Chains A and B, each alone.
Chain A
Amino acid sequence: DAGVIQSPRHEVTEMGQEVTLRCKPISGHDYLFWYRQTMMRGLELLIYFNNNVPIDDSGMPEDRFSAKMPNASFSTLKIQPSEPRDSAVYFCASSPQGRDEQFFGPGTRLTVL
């Protein structure tokens, strides 16, 4: 099994640009989670999906952030426009059952200049 796949692994962009992060969950997993990790705020849950439907987006910081899951094997997290304070490592995780073990991807390190 390839595990959770995220792309790109590193992204450097300038303030105001649109950023799209991508995630492929483990096949057969019904739940997909997006997290953000920073030194100051630690690990934060942004949004999660069950069977491609967004269930809880209360962690999305503001309207500049949006997430979609068009099918069971693909999800995107978009930031438009990006700001320097969005710089962080963004993780995608999937789970076969919501309250059980989550499998994390390697993360995307985003730097907004």
Chain B
Amino acid sequence: GNSVTQMEGPVTLSEEAFLTINCTYTATGYPSLFWYVQYPGEGLQLLLKATKADDKGSNKGFEATYRKETTSFHLEKGSVQVSDSAVYFCALSDWSSASKIIFGSGTRLSIRP
């Protein structure tokens, strides 16, 4: 079945550091891939998405590239800010998951000033 595996947290970085959160997936078809972010006390919100191989999703300085050959969708940001402290979820959907989105377990990110 479909699944998403993402980097265990928590991840702690200093402000302006480079961020990578790894995500790999297993899917029977050609899934759409997502990164969601959850700020403290809030619901999840879509950060970026990619719908086909080699697509790059980007938003708020974050980027992720859909790599079919490595079944990966790693999240990157060149210079993190304290305001990026949140929990990040990698997710996928495809025809075999019906109308559901399959979420990873989440990675908690803390940024030190």
Which of A's residues lie within 8 Å of B, judged by CB?
4, 31, 33, 42-43, 45, 48, 50, 55-56, 91, 93, 95, 97-107
Contact = CB atoms under 8 A, between A and B. Distances in A.
A99 B95 CA distance: 8
Query: Most chain-A Cβ atoms within 10 A of its Cβ — which of B49, B93, B97, B105?
Result: B93
B100 A45 contact: yes
B4 to A, nearest CB: 11
Interface stretch (B13-21, B37-45, B68-76): B37-45
Given A42-B105, A101-B49, A31 B43 contact: no
Interface in B50-92: 89
Contact of B101 (A55, A56, A102): A102
Given A42-B106, A99-B94, A48 B99 contact: yes
A59 B103 CA distance: 14
Dominant SS among interface residues on chain A: strand
A86 B99 CA distance: 26
A100 B32 CA distance: 8
A103 B43 CA distance: 9
A45 B102 CA distance: 9
A50 B43 contact: no
B44 A31 contact: no
